Amino acid sequence: MKKSALSFVLGLSLVFVPTLFGMAKDTESNGNIVETAINLSTWMTDNYEKIKDKELRNLVIPGTHDSGTALISEENAVVSSDKGIPETLAKIAPRKLVGWSKTQDLTIRKQLGIGVRFFDFRVSFEKEGKNSDYTLYLSHGLRGEKLDDVLADIRDFAENNPREIVMIKFKSFADEKCKKENLNKLLADKFKQYLENFIIQRQDIDVNLPLATVKKLVDTKKSIIVLIEIKRSLKSNFKQAEDTLNSEGFLFDSEKFLGSPWGNKQSVPDLVKYTLSQARDYAKNGKYNDKLYSLHWTLTADVKYIVSHLTNNEGIRYLTAKLNGQKKYKKDYSLSTVLKNVDRVNIVQQDFITREKTESLIRMNW
């Protein structure tokens, strides 16, 4: 090979290798700084000896919020039944709301590939014909990925990566939405259809889920944890959701096992203030010491905010850019600074996840 051609190939390798592996600095015992690579798609497997004795509640886990919205676009702006955005606006101008519905650029399959291990599912049941069966979507006001496709991707990933622990949280349905059929049971059956051989059952572990070590979870020979979120604080009746939880041994009650305070803030300073105040409160009274803890590093657009910014096509991407530091403040409101000031870092949920975001969190485990 000619020298110029060899230089070209080496140049390409320098460009593309960092996109396959997260690059980071490590300190050797002699104090020298060296560059090391993490294969983000198998970070738990490759670093098993480092994390095997960590309890799940103390493992730093990259997560995504409204995880399945990557396929939402102006060409695919179909209103869903989940009412994740104002229904009237959705019906009048669904394309205008693409920016306020889309929270991820990467599909679930690609998120798995860059190290995401916690997924937030908002499922919608859609009738695409009068006599048709339901088609299930991951939605946020508009329809995103089909649930069947997502579960098939997760199944394939679990089959090939038995030491990669994956958590899925889904929102349950109130009885008023289950007038004809128990949607919670239908959804649980869908999980079993694709993932039954890989889902950890409650009886598989002899300690509370958050206290289980990575080794204990891996020793079950299963790798997927499913949590159901039942909105018991609402006035709606959730008897059917409770019945599904009690009858399905693979469902974990998120109220019992997961602390996930949601700030519902539109500004970065307000979100940081809320996050730190919650962290201090938890550290003081130990409210979530024996639970998983999910930190929501996301800004939320409420109805008033969406209406007043309807001409901003960037939508949630604009809010996420502010969190990513594209708006300057007098104080340091970066995620890294916030994480240094919270009592415990566990699950961190973000919009528009990237390999840079996941890699920085994964590195906190050692």
Query: Quick one: tokens of 115?
Result: 């190290």
For residue 174, what are the contacts with CB-CB under 8 A and spacing of at least 6? 231, 234, 236, 237, 238, 241
Q: What is the dihedral of CA 191, 196, 199, 205, to 10 degrees?
A: 130
Say what percent of the chain tops pLDDT 90.
Answer: 70
Q: Taking all residues of the chain, what is their mean pLDDT, rounded to a whole number?
A: 88
| For range 135-142, the mean pLDDT | 94
Q: Note whether 358 and 22 are within 8 A (CB).
A: yes
Q: Note whether 80 and 137 are within 8 A (CB).
A: yes
Q: What is the pLDDT of residue 128?
A: 77
- Which of 128-132, 167-171, 298-302 is predicted least confidently? 128-132
Query: Quick one: tokens of 25?
Result: 């600095």
Q: Buried b vs exposed e over 279-297: b needs ≥16 C-beta within 10 Å?
A: beebeeeeebeebbbbbbb
End-to-end CA distance of the chain: 42
- Which of 74-78, 136-140, 185-189, 224-228 is predicted least confidently? 74-78
Closest CA to 214 of 360, 65, 46: 46
Closest CA to 338 of 283, 297, 300: 297
For residue 42, what are the contacts with CB-CB under 8 A and spacing of at least 6? 161, 164
pTM: 0.89
Query: Quick one: tokens of 279?
Result: 């962290």
Residues in the chain: 366
170-216 pLDDT tens trace: 999 999 999 889 999 999 999 999 999 999 999 999 999 999 999 99
Q: Which residue has the tokens 């599904």?
A: 244
- Which of 86-90, 102-106, 164-168, 328-332 is predicted least confidently? 86-90
Strands (E), 206-297: 224-229, 251-253, 258-259, 292-297
- pLDDT band per the 50, 70, 90 thresholds, residue 27: low
* Residue 215 DSSP class: H
| For range 311-315, the mean pLDDT | 86
Closest CA to 242 of 255, 260, 259, 258: 255
**CB atoms < 10 A from the CB of 320, how many?**
20
Whether 90 has a pLDDT exceeding 70, the answer reads no
Whether 122 has a pLDDT exceeding 90, the answer reads yes
CA distance 142 to 85: 8
Whether 2 has a pLDDT exceeding 60, the answer reads no
| For range 344-363, the mean pLDDT | 97
Query: Quick one: tokens of 275?
Result: 């996050």
> Distance between alpha carbon 281 and the CA centroid of its chain, in Å?
24
For residue 92, what are the contacts with CB-CB under 8 A and spacing of at least 6? none
- 3-state SS, residue 54: coil
Whether 23 has a pLDDT exceeding 60, the answer reads no
- CATH architecture of residue range(s) 39-365: Alpha-Beta Barrel (3.20)
Q: What is the dihedral of CA 205, 210, 214, 220, to 10 degrees?
A: 20
Burial of 203 (0-12, 13-18, 19+ CB in 10 A): exposed
Whether 5 has a pLDDT exceeding 70, the answer reads no
Whether 9 has a pLDDT exceeding 60, the answer reads no
> Distance between alpha carbon 183 and the CA centroid of its chain, in Å?
22
Whether 349 has a pLDDT exceeding 90, the answer reads yes
Say what percent of the chain tops pLDDT 70.
Answer: 86
- pLDDT band per the 50, 70, 90 thresholds, residue 55: very high
CA distance 151 to 109: 9
Whether 7 has a pLDDT exceeding 60, the answer reads no
Output the CA torsion sign for 168, 343, 364, 214: negative
Residues of the chain with CATH 3.20.20.190: 39-365
